[in-house]
Amino acid sequence: MLTSRHLLGIEGLSKQEITAILDLSETYVRQNRQPNKHSNALNGLTQVNMFFEASTRTQSSFEIAGKRLGADVMNMAMQASSITKGETLIDTAMTLNAMHPDLLVVRHPHSGAVALLAEKVNCAVLNAGDGQHEHPTQALLDALTIRRAKGRLHRLTIAICGDIAHSRVARSNMFLLGKMENRVRLIGPRTLMPAGVDQLGVEVTDNMVEGLKGVDVVMMLRLQKERMDGGFIPSTREYYHRWGLDAAKLANAKPDAIVMHPGPMNRGVEIDGVLADDINRSVIQEQVEMGVAVRMAVMDLLARGLRRQEKDVMV
């Protein structure tokens, strides 16, 4: 069971809660590999997905996760909604709230927008990525992938590389990996490091060769151009040359280091296409598989919380 009614970020989760989510996810990894993928943790519940930003993996995996657990799942087509007629986020949420959803999965371009919305509705809210702030289910699926590949989730050295400043994936991963007592090293151009990076309790370098030495995990990130106003890098060719991951740079990491990427990937910009497809090093497809299982586990746990609350109200 989770302490909070919502999942808004990794920052508010305890080490025990993270472990509980990952342990339950393992059950769903097994279920998802069976011909019959259905169970009933969300029977009778309504899940609404509201994505105000583009998404392939996150939206589809939340939808599949909900359906496999027996929920009624509705995807709001935000481009076709009244948001385009000037309705505010809160008014849209209140309208949906009146239809009694149980789980609201929200992605929004503004940091903090999902937390604001959670204050206004009665259901459980899941943050599917808010601006540059957090993307909790991504960090959880990354953690599950690492734990399965390395056999543990502590005392590992993990490099997070590229556009850290604009990445909610990096932020959520820093929280999670830090809580689980790992060493995190941020590698990328100084212009793409977040403000106050020295206070984050992580190592920072702009040199890929130095930074990758001895790491167990290499996590690559996309240049989030939609969040950049102006030039942060000289050119994509220069960027690939210095910070793009290829086999030669990876040779500095531990021989069994794994390569991760949350997607969407820009081949030839932050990662070499051949390396991304190398099943001996890259766990990018496993990350996608783990994404469905982790989202099932999180929604199952939040639904248990909702049912407990309901019981408390009835007695």
Q: Which of 138, 157, 182, 282 binds ligand NCD (CB under 6 A)?
A: 138
At which residue do the structure tokens 């990937």 appear? 265
Minimum distance from residue 22 beta carbon to ligand NCD (Å): 18
Query: Residue 19 corresponds to which tokens in the numbers above?
Result: 């472990």
- Under 8 Å between Cβ of 2 and 303: no
- Considering the complex, state which of residue 172 and residue 182 has its C-beta at the smaller distance from ligand NCD: 172
Q: Which of 168, 171, 249, 281 binds ligand NCD (CB under 6 A)?
A: 168
Distance CA 299, CA 34 (A): 20
Minimum distance from residue 271 beta carbon to ligand NCD (Å): 12
Classify strands 124-130 and 203-205 as parallel, antiparallel or unpaired: unpaired
- Considering the complex, state which of residue 47 and residue 58 has its C-beta at the smaller distance from ligand NCD: 58
Q: Does 58 bind ligand NCD (CB under 6 A)?
A: yes
- Longest Cα–Cα distance of the chain, Å, equals 65
Burial class (CB in 10 A: 0-12, 13-18, 19+), 152: exposed
Please report how many Cα atoms fall inside a 13 Å half-sphere around the Cα of residue 192, on the Cβ side.
Answer: 27
Q: Does 68 bind ligand NCD (CB under 6 A)?
A: no
Minimum distance from residue 263 beta carbon to ligand NCD (Å): 5
Binding-site size for ligand NCD (CB under 6 A) equals: 11
Burial class (CB in 10 A: 0-12, 13-18, 19+), 77: exposed
Q: Does 133 bind ligand NCD (CB under 6 A)?
A: no
Minimum distance from residue 110 beta carbon to ligand NCD (Å): 14
Q: Does 117 bind ligand NCD (CB under 6 A)?
A: no
In 84-123 the beta strands, taken as DSSP E runs, fall at: 103-108
For the beta sheet containing 203-205, the strands, ordered from the edge strand earlier in sequence to the opposite edge, are 203-205, 183-187, 157-161, 217-220, 258-260
- Under 8 Å between Cβ of 300 and 47: no
Minimum distance from residue 129 beta carbon to ligand NCD (Å): 5
276 to 315: interface string for ligand NCD, x by CB under 6 A: ----------------------------------------
Minimum distance from residue 167 beta carbon to ligand NCD (Å): 7
Q: Does 179 bind ligand NCD (CB under 6 A)?
A: no
Minimum distance from residue 86 beta carbon to ligand NCD (Å): 26
Q: Does 249 bind ligand NCD (CB under 6 A)?
A: no
Minimum distance from residue 6 beta carbon to ligand NCD (Å): 18
- Considering the complex, state which of residue 147 and residue 168 has its C-beta at the smaller distance from ligand NCD: 168
Residue type, 195: A
Q: Which of 13, 93, 153, 169 binds ligand NCD (CB under 6 A)?
A: 169
Residue 174 has φ and ψ, to the nearest 5°, of -60, -45
Q: Does 245 bind ligand NCD (CB under 6 A)?
A: no
Q: Which of 133, 135, 171, 185 binds ligand NCD (CB under 6 A)?
A: 135
Q: Does 10 bind ligand NCD (CB under 6 A)?
A: no
Nearest partner of 167 among 117, 226, 118, 126, judged by Cα: 226
At which residue do the structure tokens 């919502």 appear? 6
Distance CA 123, CA 146 (A): 31
Minimum distance from residue 147 beta carbon to ligand NCD (Å): 19
What is the chain's length? 315
Residues at the contact surface with ligand NCD, assessed by CB under 6 A = 57-58, 129, 135, 138, 168-169, 222, 224, 262-263
